Amino acid sequence: MSNIPKGLQTYFLKETESEERPVIRREGANIVIPILIREETKPDESGEKTIFRFFEVETAYTGQDISDYDKCCIQSYAAIRKYLYGEPAVQGEMRDDDIWEAHRLAVRALFPKYRGEVQPRQDRFMQIVREFWTAVKTAAGSVGKTRADLPAYFNDTNMLEWAAANNVPAEVIATTEETMIRVSCNLGANHRNWSELFTYEE
């Protein structure tokens, strides 16, 4: 079972629902691999029933071990990634919306080429996230405030305006401004967007 990870887009995929737990199955020369399987309950005439929601990836059978789900996914990683990446037009949409890189890295992390494969670009992004929230908490804490005292969403300009309006010390504002500039530049360099900082809010 797995949840949809942060950053992964599924709006363009066809979802399947079943009352039976899905398994990998052979269909002629192909296999069908259920992925992103989620167990849910929904009301019915007798009260509640369990259902499974998932997506299906069909790919050629080339000797994958269909009795071992994780092993089969690794053996079929290229087909699964291709399915989740979507058609070029879908990829273009995600690039236009600045969500492609988060989606791509989520796919790669969820379906690695081999066990233990690392995603250094995601590690770099998480460093940016930590730097951002450390600066925000430091600025708020300098005047006895917390994240709860800030707007639900703000950009770098909003943050500095809030700091000035709340009498954050000048030296803290200067440091915060330097951090915000660096965060903004690093987001662009890593093809990520500002709103993602709030998706990964610490």
pLDDT digits (tens, 9 = 90+) for 44-62: 777 788 999 999 999 999 9
> Is the model's pLDDT at 1 over the cut of 60?
no
> Is the model's pLDDT at 79 over the cut of 80?
yes
Joined together, the tokens standing for residue 72 give 């089969």
Q: How far is CA 41 from CA 2, 13, 22, 50, 162, in A?
A: 15, 22, 16, 4, 44
Q: Which class for 33: exposed (0-12), middle (13-18), buried (19 or more C-beta within 10 A)?
A: buried
- The mean pLDDT value of the chain amounts to 94
Joined together, the tokens standing for residue 165 give 């309006």
Closest CA to 78 of 55, 101, 112, 30: 112
Report pLDDT for 43: 83
Joined together, the tokens standing for residue 131 give 């730097």
What's the whole-model pTM score?
A: 0.84
Report pLDDT for 42: 85
139 touches 172 (CB < 8 A): yes
Report pLDDT for 37: 96
pLDDT, tens digit, 9 for 90 and up, residues 22-49: 999 999 999 999 999 999 988 877 778 8
86 touches 48 (CB < 8 A): no
